[in-house]
């Protein structure tokens, strides 16, 4: 199944998400939606830093690593 970033942004608009830059000693930041997490990632260097965005769900978490995070950033730009 292909990754659909627009669908992900829609599906997880109310899901708590955390953003973790993969730099030692950097704490995760928590947001009330995937869109807000992606905006934070974009504004804080996700274009050149390694990063993970985790969508926290009741049954399982979904993790978007650096490549998919960058795809989400591009989808958000096109959405606006």
pLDDT digits (tens, 9 = 90+) for 17-71: 999 999 988 899 999 999 999 999 999 998 889 999 999 999 999 999 999 999 9
pLDDT of 80 strictly over 90: no
Sign of the four-CA dihedral 51, 62, 70, 29:
negative
Q: Which of 48, 44, 58, 55 is nearest to 3 (CA)?
A: 55
Residues 6+ apart with CB under 8 A from 35: 9, 13, 76
Exposure of 29 in the CB half-sphere (CA atoms within 13 A) = 15
pLDDT value of position 54: 98
- pLDDT class for 78, splitting at 50, 70, 90? confident
């Amino acid at each position: 199944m292909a990754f659909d970033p627009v669908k992900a942004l829609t599906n997880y608009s109310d899901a708590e998400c955390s953003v973790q830059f993969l730099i030692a000693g950097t704490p995760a930041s928590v947001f009330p939606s995937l869109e807000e997490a992606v905006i934070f990632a974009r504004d804080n260097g996700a274009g050149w830093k390694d990063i993970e965005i985790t969508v926290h769900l009741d049954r399982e978490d979904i993790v978007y690593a650096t490549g998919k995070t960058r795809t989400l950033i591009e989808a958000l730009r096109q959405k606006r």
